[in-house]
Amino acid sequence: MSSDLPTPPETGRVGSMSLRALPPIYILPAHLTLDELHEFEDEVIELGAPFTYDAKEAKIFLGKVERKTRAAFELRSKGVWTEENIVKMEEPARKRRRVTPAPPTEVVIISDDESEAGEHVNVKAKETNAATSSRRPLREEDFVLPDLHNRVLVVKLAWWDECFRHRRLRPIEPFIVYDGRLIPKPDGESTPTSSPSSVRTQRPDTTSNNEHTSSPLQQNILARAKADAEVVKEKGHPVAFQHRRRFKQQNPPPVYGSLIPKLKRMTTSEFEECDAKALPEPPDWVKNHSMYCCLRSTPMNQPNHRFISELQKIKLSRILTLDQIGVRAYSTSIASLAAYPYLIRSPLEIMRLPGCDERIATHFSEYKATSPSESERYLPVARKLDEDENLQCLKILYDIWGCGADTARKMYFTYGWKDIDDVVQFGWNTLNRAQQIGVKYYDEFKTTIPRKEVEEITEIAKQHARKARGIKPHQYDTDEDIVAVIVGGYRRGKEQSGDVDMILSHRDENVTRNLIVDVVSELEESSYITHTLTLNTTTTKRGQQTLPYTGGDGGHGFDSLDKALCVWQDPNFEIPPSEAADPDSAPVMKNPNIHRRVDIIISPWRTVGCAVLGWSGATTFERDIRRWCKREKGWKFDSSGVRDRRDGLVLDFETPRKGKEGMEGDTWLDREKRLMDGLGIGWRPATERCTS
């Protein structure tokens, strides 16, 4: 071996201090890659410290953790429940124990040549004087641990780095993040699946000289393999998060089967004698078994909203686990239940609804069995999902603007980020600009917007669009004026909206060409728009024509209009009288107004009905419009227009026609009505398009 390489430490000894007297050590996987986790495990075992894969055995937890609350959370996620210990490290000496040097021990050193031949040489490790030893033993400062009976410590990994670099134990007090006292699991709290109890603490090998002794690294590999094998044998619950890293299985969805009671199976005679006769007369869409929710009315206030909200939780779990089939299935079932005009009292009612099968009926049986009172009922499967800490963390990350489910899973399962603080501390530089803004205004974006404020924001945007195109006051509210339509949840009747969606249009296509660029510039200059997340001019670039049909679904997706996704803040706010009296001496006051998410969409007048229809319905309603047009009509619909899939020709359903009573109206609402009739789905107001 090269003389430049450092001499490996004796197993179980760091400098002049033995590590065998340390309590069991567990490495927290948060913020560590799989390679980093294994590297630290190898170092701990190589230096002879007692290492365990079972968090409940450990007394010292090493990890990249900076805050006490996060440390307690990490312990809880491993099934270790604690409360902060109020006794500090400076406790009486009688409660402290000193880690003393162990007597000289016999260790095995394998040379390169001998290891190739499979031969082992036993060497007596002795304490030598610094003057005669080739490696001068380092004099260790006092290393003191508190009494860890019924207590655990969460320590920064930087402490272990210090010990490894100096080849001796360093004082631990400056690196302690959390000193926790063990407590029983509180009633009503859920404990994530912990490591198998069969995985025991790994300690330095103590075999005799004539026995074959494996290296610490080999012991580590075998121990890790054994731990993984034990986890594989466990059935009936998801794989524990810490062992999932060892498998490199980053995306296993949680599995929660339906609990009792099961859907009751009925004989023919029982069915005839049951309440089937008392069931309400089903709507026509139920009788016709219509699968398209765009063909039926779905109001905002739904009699079965409590049961639907429980199913929404399951749907969200399918989104977060990338189960697209499950998402679509639950979306279809929820849309059917939302349109049903009666309070459901029997699973038989659910079985006759299109898009609802025995699984949904079983969910209802479980839901109904939890309580005789409708207001107190819950779905056991949904409650389990609420208590799943993996899904809770994924939901936090998923709610960051600019992060989809796939990005959230990567943040959590690959990087170990569990909350917004983790994203800021460990991943800020890896986020794109839109995601950074989503993190910065995370809490503000989650604050809903009342209807009055939605109207005020839209009116301000309309005024700036008028200014950008030179619309004069005498042209206001005429055919020469800018038209602004509030769409999204506001138009469906929501009292509180998550963001503001508006469509701006004009009867002259020269006005709408590149209007999005000019209106955003005006709003930025007036300080209403603080950030522009996305700015698209796709309609202008294709001459404001309908999106071409290329044989598949084609184009750039369902939404293909000029649009800007912005961050909005009202620049007007009151200045305290004390500061207003002397503005020169007063410091610059920060704008206290909340930031809002605002989407501005531009549509040419020729297809404004398509734009309004495409942005007014809930998600499943819009999905079914596209399915209806494709499967039943052979057309392609998006917010830029309608085309025939057979020849690619544009189909015009919006242009006014002269009837018996004269020319039809030419407002945006008239155009939307004609469009819906032309598509064959029939007109219904936006307040009846509230699917999900």
503 beta partners: 485, 601
pLDDT computed for residue 159 by the predictor: 87
User: Quick one: CA dihedral 524, 527, 533, 539, positive or negative?
Assistant: negative
Token digits for 617?
């319905």
Mind listing the pLDDT tens digit for each residue in 670-691?
A: 999 999 999 999 999 999 999 9
265 pLDDT band (50/70/90 cuts)?
Answer: low
Mean pLDDT of 633-637: 94
In this prediction, residue 574 has a pLDDT band, given cuts at 50, 70 and 90, of: confident
Confidence of residue 17 (pLDDT cuts 50, 70, 90): low
Q: Are 410 and 404 in contact (CB under 8 A)?
A: no
- The pLDDT-based confidence of 397 (bands split at 50, 70, 90) is very high
8 A C-beta contact, residue 152 and residue 75:
yes
Structure tokens at 324: 């697209």
Across the chain, mean pLDDT equals: 79
Residue 256 or 51, more confident:
51
Distance CA 125, CA 647 (A): 87
Average pLDDT over residues 644-652: 92
Number of other residues whose CB lies within 10 A of the CB of residue 586: 13
With tokens 């107190």, the residue in question is 376
DSSP secondary-structure letter at 411?
Answer: I
Whether 602 contacts 563, CB under 8 Å = yes
SS3 509: helix
Average pLDDT rounded to a whole number, residues 519-546:
94
- Is residue 103 very low, low, confident or very high in pLDDT (cuts 50, 70, 90)? very low
Residue 204 pLDDT:
39
* C-alpha to C-alpha distance for 151 and 172, rounded to whole angstroms: 15
d(CA 328, CA 375): 28
Residue 120, pLDDT score: 38
CA 592 to chain centre: 28
* Of the candidate ranges 10-24, 76-90, 144-158, 674-688, the one whose mean pLDDT is the lowest: 10-24
Contacts of 407-414 spanning 24+ positions with Cβ under 8 A: 407/435, 408/320, 409/250, 409/251, 409/320, 409/322, 413/244, 413/250, 413/251, 414/33, 414/250
| Residues 656, 670: Cα–Cα separation, whole Å | 8
Query: Does the structure show a pLDDT above 90 at 419?
Result: yes
Higher pLDDT, 136 or 177: 177
Task: Name the region of 571 (left: φ>0; alpha: ψ -120 to 50; beta: rest).
Answer: alpha
DSSP 8-class letter at 259: P
- Coil, strand, or helix at residue 307? helix
Q: Give the confidence band of 50 by pLDDT, cuts at 50, 70, 90.
A: confident
Q: Which range has the worst mean pLDDT, 255-264, 379-388, 403-412, 602-611? A: 255-264
- DSSP 8-state symbol, 526: T
* Separation CA 423–CA 660 (nearest Å): 64
Facing residues of 644 across strands?
Answer: 635
Residues 74 and 153: beta-carbon distance below 8 Å: no
C-alpha–C-alpha distance, residues 219 and 42, integer Å: 9
What number is the average pLDDT over the span 639-665?
A: 85
Better-predicted residue by pLDDT, 110 or 375: 375
- Confidence class of residue 599 from pLDDT cuts 50, 70 and 90? very high
User: Is beta strand 662-663 parallel, antiparallel or unpaired with respect to 658-659?
Assistant: antiparallel
CA distance 17 to 349: 74
Residue 630 has what DSSP assignment? I
* Res. 206: pLDDT tops 90: no
Give the model's pLDDT for residue 20: 72
CATH no., domain 388-445:
1.10.150.20
% the chain with pLDDT above 70: 73
Q: How confident is the model at residue 110 (pLDDT cuts 50, 70, 90)?
A: very low
pLDDT surpassing 90 at residue 411: yes
Does the pLDDT at position 561 exceed 70? yes
Q: For residue 98, what pLDDT band results from cuts at 50, 70 and 90?
A: very low
Mean pLDDT, to the nearest integer, of 399-420?
Answer: 94
pLDDT score of 317 more than 70: yes
* Least trusted range by pLDDT, from 249-263, 379-393, 528-542: 249-263
Confidence label for 220 from pLDDT (cuts 50, 70 and 90): low
Rounded Cα distance, 15 and 591, in Å: 58
Using DSSP's 3-state secondary structure scheme, residue 97 falls into strand
Query: Do the Cβ atoms of 141 and 167 come closer than 8 Å?
Result: no
At residue 227, the pLDDT reads: 53
Q: Under 8 Å CB-to-CB from 466, ≥6 apart: which residues?
A: 476, 481, 482
The residue ranking higher by pLDDT, 61 or 40, is 61
Of 46-55, 113-122, 290-299, 575-584, the range with the highest mean pLDDT is 290-299
* Reported confidence tier of residue 117, pLDDT bands at 50, 70, 90: very low
Range of lowest pLDDT (86-90, 375-379, 683-687): 86-90
Percentage with pLDDT > 90 across the chain? 55
pLDDT at res. 142 = 52
Report the interhelical angle of 515-525 vs 451-469 (nearest 10°): 110
Amino acid at 566: C
- What is the homologous superfamily of the domain 449-571+592-688 according to CATH? Beta Polymerase, domain 2 (3.30.460.10)
User: For 447-495, what is each residue's pLDDT tens digit?
Assistant: 999 999 999 999 999 999 999 999 999 999 999 999 999 999 999 999 9
State the CB neighbour count (10 A cutoff) for residue 226: 15
Contact 503, 559 (CB under 8 A): no
Judge whether residue 416 has pLDDT over 60.
Answer: yes
Among the residue ranges 1-5, 302-306, 388-392, 487-491, the one predicted with the least confidence is 1-5
At the second CATH level, the architecture of 268-386 is Orthogonal Bundle (1.10)
User: In whole angstroms, what is the distance from residue 201 CA to residue 223 CA?
Assistant: 10
Cα angle 644, 649, 651; round to 5: 70
What tokens does 144 get? 């003191």
Give whole-number Cα distances, 504 to 183, 501, 529, 602, in Å. Answer: 60, 10, 17, 5
In this predicted structure, the answer to whether residue 403 has a pLDDT above a threshold of 90 is yes
Q: Is residue 118 pLDDT above 90, yes or no?
A: no
- Say if residues 66 and 425 touch (Cβ distance below 8 Å): yes
Task: State the Rg of the chain over Cα.
Answer: 33
**Cα distances (angstroms) measured from residue 445 to each of 25, 441, 499, 512, 560:** 42, 6, 8, 29, 25
Residues contacting residue 263 through CB under 8 Å, at least 6 positions apart: 347, 358, 361, 362, 365
Domain boundaries, the chain: 13-247, 268-386, 388-445, 449-571+592-688
Which pLDDT band, with edges at 50, 70 and 90, does 21 fall under? confident
Confidence of residue 442 (pLDDT cuts 50, 70, 90): very high
10 Å Cβ neighbour count for 687? 16
User: How much is the average pLDDT of 511-524?
Assistant: 96
d(CA 394, CA 405): 8
Q: What is the mean pLDDT of residues 600-625?
A: 96
Q: How far is CA 4 from CA 13, 15, 84, 135, 255, in A?
A: 22, 19, 47, 14, 54
pLDDT band for 190, please (50, 70, 90 cuts).
low
What pLDDT shows up at residue 116? Answer: 36
The reported pLDDT for the residue numbered 627 is: 94
Average pLDDT over residues 515-524: 97
137 phi and psi angles, rounded to 5 deg: -65, 135
Total-model pTM: 0.71
Structure-token pair, residue 114: 């001998």
Angle between helices 305-320 and 380-387 (to 10 degrees): 50
Is residue 269's pLDDT more than 80? no
pLDDT at 430: 94
Both tokens of residue 153?
Answer: 């410590």
Res 171: pLDDT: 86
